[in-house]
Structure 1
């Protein structure tokens, strides 16, 4: 059984068929879906989704792409919501937060301030983080070390081997999704193959980062197809092939890793991941 450790199931792309999408994921063996918030306006949305669908849990945070206009008032809202959610078993961490130095026009200084303040919240409440690290691996990692954050997931990781090792040494797990399915993504595939198995988790970032078999070109440069959490099964097949291991071994390892990164998932292990206690693991075919 698989867990999608990063899926925006609340996104508008899923409005017509959200329940069917989650059902299809479960049919593919995906028993858990982590839904991170991106801004104050969807805190209530991701919480409600997680309480409506037993396959989902949620995180709260402000995404760097939502940083324009997000100031102290939004941070105060986040803190109140986090405090109110601490007794909610479906609340698993702070995210999606981080830095994005790829998209033009974002204020790097403001992003960094907002990210650091959210890391301080994670430290205050002893919560793990779900990290956005696009073109910002060194800067994101530096703040983790500065503020002493040692648990969470660097999602859609696409850095060097040395950068990856620094995240792992800091206690982070690294998320791999659709990008690893492209033969052209040599650096990502090397990381997926060479890093310790205990450092890896699976994800989709759905509806984004569609895998190779859904992409509209052979190199995956467009990613215009809608991705869904069911595609974790195909990502797992590719990951298992790259590492030369069987699906059961990968399923058990990535579930353990997800729980290590997001400890509140442990409360759902019996219902979400029976494979951890010897249950049946479904096929990884996409």
Structure 2
């Protein structure tokens, strides 16, 4: 692919235990691939301290603290107050990963909605962007965001419709894409990557989840981000350099990175 500019993985769970065996090597592989920075979103309160330590140890990694909708059994109501304290004290780059997931067993939609809105309220209070997980819930997420005007953020691993994408972009949100777009059958995702304005797109791996076609069934890692970039380049008939530069700028602007 030739030399490419520096890339930012807009969504990576690099604190995951699956990296405990080779985290330093995985980081080196990422840097060799041009991935110099990563956004590390939290999924539950118990793991905030390890994300904090990871990002202190590696300046290119940026923490985000939140409560993921798929881990409802781990969340306590007092975690929202704790989150407020963490946001005030730690000054992360974002709130999240938060959102709505109506695909999981026993989704408890009312509880998910309460936790999501509490985190959106904190994002507004601390003037931070939100990292949103929306699975089978994009319409509900849009309707919720309408009640919090002025918030900014990203929908990670976007899976909604083109019409919903345009509504989110009009509201000032970015849409992020990763491994799923590399699968031939992902016609709708590929159409979105091809047709949406590049100024509103981010690229991510969601490591260790959602590997691309070349690494199907394996642990995903940030070093594979250039494969997403390459596919964007093919789908949009645009040089990889241009896409890398714009998606990097988008990520820097959203998270106020230096």
State TM-score, norm by structure 1: 0.87
- 1:239 alignment counterpart: 232
* Corresponding residue for residue 3 of structure 2: none
Cα distance in 2 between the residues matched to 1:227 and 1:149: 34
1:249 matched to which residue of 2? 242
Per-residue deviation at 1:151?
A: 1.2
Distance of 1:82 and 1:159 partners within structure 2: 29
Q: Deviation digits for residues 180-199 of structure 1, max 9, x if unmatched?
A: 11111000000000000101
| 1:31-110 correspondence runs (5 A) | 31-86=36-91, 91-110=92-111
Matched ranges for 1:188-207 at <5 A: 188-207=189-208
Residue 176 of structure 1 pairs with residue 177 of structure 2: yes
Relative to 1, partners in 2 of residues 1:173 and 1:84: Cα closer, same or farther, differing over 3 Å? same
Q: Which residue of 1 aligns with 2:11?
A: 6
CA distance in 2, matches of 1:111, 1:149: 22
How far is 1:4 from its partner? Answer: 0.3
Report the aligned-residue RMSD. Answer: 1.0
Tell me the distance in 1 between the aligned counterparts of 2:134 and 2:254. 16
Partner Cα separation in structure 2 for residue 239 and residue 33 of structure 1: 19
- Contact 1:59–1:96 at 8 Å: present in 2 too? yes
Q: Is the 8 A contact 1:36 1:61 kept in 2?
A: yes
**1:16 pairs with one of 21, 28, 34:** 21
Give the whole-Å Cα distance in 1 for the aligned partners of 2:151 and 2:116.
Answer: 15
1:260 Cα offset (Å): 2.3
Question: Structure 2: how far apart are the matches of 1:149 and 1:38?
Answer: 24
Listed one character per residue, the Cα deviations across residues 238-274 of structure 1 (whole Å, up to 9, x for unaligned) are 01110011111011100111122212x1x2xxxxxxx
- 2:146 is paired with a residue whose SS is helix
**Is the 1:151–1:262 contact (alpha carbons within 8 Å) kept by the matching residues of 2?**
no
Secondary structure at the aligned position of 1:68 is classed as helix
Paired residue secondary structure (2:228): helix
- Classify the secondary structure of the residue corresponding to 1:98: strand
- Does the Cα contact within 8 Å between 1:68 and 1:106 map onto a contact in 2? no
The answer as to whether partners of 2:95 and 2:131 remain within 8 angstroms in 1 is: yes
Whether the 8 Å CA contact 1:119–1:149 is kept in 2: the answer is: no
Contact 1:3–1:255 (Cα < 8 Å) also in 2: yes
Determine helix, strand or coil for the equivalent of 1:78: helix
Shift of 1:152: 1.0
Gaps of 5+ in 1: 216-223, 268-286
1:194-216 deviation per Cα after TM superposition (whole angstroms, max 9, x unaligned): 0001010000000000001111x
May I ask how many residue pairs the two structures share in their alignment?
A: 253
Q: Distance in 1 between matches of 2:151 and 2:238?
A: 28
